[in-house]
Amino acid sequence: MSIVMKLTDIHKHYYMGDNDLHVLKGINFEVNHGELLSIMGASGSGKSTLMNIIGLLDHPTSGSYKLDGKEVSTFTGDDRAMIRNQMIGFVFQQFFLLPRLTAVQNVAMPLIYRGINKKESYDRCMESLKKVGMIDYHDHRPSEMSGGQQQRVAIARALIGEPSIILGDEPTGALDSKIGQEVMDLFIRLNEEEKKTLVLVTHDPKVSAQCQRTVHVKDGLVVDDERR
């Protein structure tokens, strides 16, 4: 199996005035192509900070992060955004759909800056909505959908750029367990059928148990790497 992400001695400090908050204290781990991995740890242990670094939304204070063999920890704004758009789809606990837009318009958001014509964009969005079982809701706004349905649309949006990696920061955290399981089933299908690499932060042991591997984070360090 080949390595898609390799983090070596990753540190993250947040500096606020005179305060130096040392959040990540030397994170080491690798993720293989096609892995379905969960990250667990207490609130405040640094999981979202780590996900933001993995997902190129933020950069580490020090350490090496190789994504597909490329050292990306030193990349700045535009370069980070470019790699992120090509490789990574993000799903968050709070969906972050735009309330005034329909499902298909929300899914189209990442395509807006790509210069793709309207017809092609629409077709691709409908295809993506189909993949997550939301085609019948393409012209519904977020307020007309349940939490699980909104999260499916958010996943369709994450998939629109055909990323090889999907990152979820507590993607089932706002859903009841039945709906959360449906979203999890979708992630498992994307992993098995489309060979996507998935990294999911979760507090839910039932979600974690369905992943091939769980990395446990405590006080900014990886303390256990559990494989099933």
Contact between 47 and ligand ATP per CB under 6 A: yes
Contact between 221 and ligand ATP per CB under 6 A: no
Least distance in Å: CB of 43 to Mg ion? 7
Q: Are 89 and 56 in contact (CB under 8 A)?
A: no
Contact between 49 and ligand ATP per CB under 6 A: yes
Contact between 43 and ligand ATP per CB under 6 A: yes
Closer residue to ligand ATP in complex, CB, 163/220: 220
Query: Which does residue 55 bind out of ligand ATP, Mg ion, none, counting CB within 5 to 8 angstroms by kind?
Result: none
Closer residue to Mg ion in complex, CB, 43/143: 43
Among 48, 73, 208, 214, binds ligand ATP (CB under 6 A): 48
Query: Which does residue 128 bind out of Mg ion, ligand ATP, none, counting CB within 5 to 8 angstroms by kind?
Result: none
Which window, 41-49, 137-145, 187-195, 206-214, contacts ligand ATP (CB under 6 A)? 41-49
d(CA 109, CA 98): 9
Query: Contacts with Mg ion in 27-56 (CB under 5 A)?
Result: 48
Query: Which does residue 144 bind out of Mg ion, ligand ATP, none, counting CB within 5 to 8 angstroms by kind?
Result: none
Three-state secondary structure along the chain?
A: CCEEEEEEEEEEEEEECCEEEEEEEEEEEEEECCCEEEEECCCCCCHHHHHHHHCCCCCCCEEEEEECCEECCCCCHHHHHHHHHHHEEEEECCCCCCCCCCHHHHHHHHHHHHCCCHHHHHHHHHHHHHHCCCHHHCCCCHHHCCHHHHHHHHHHHHHCCCCCEEEEECCCCCCCHHHHHHHHHHHHHHHHHHCCEEEEECCCHHHHHCCCEEEEEECCEEEEEEEC
Taking CB atoms, the residue at the shortest distance from Mg ion is 48
Contact between 21 and ligand ATP per CB under 6 A: yes
Contact between 150 and Mg ion per CB under 5 A: no
Q: Are 47 and 201 in contact (CB under 8 A)?
A: yes
Positions touching Mg ion (CB under 5 A) are 48
Positions touching ligand ATP (CB under 6 A) are 14, 16, 21, 23, 41, 43-49
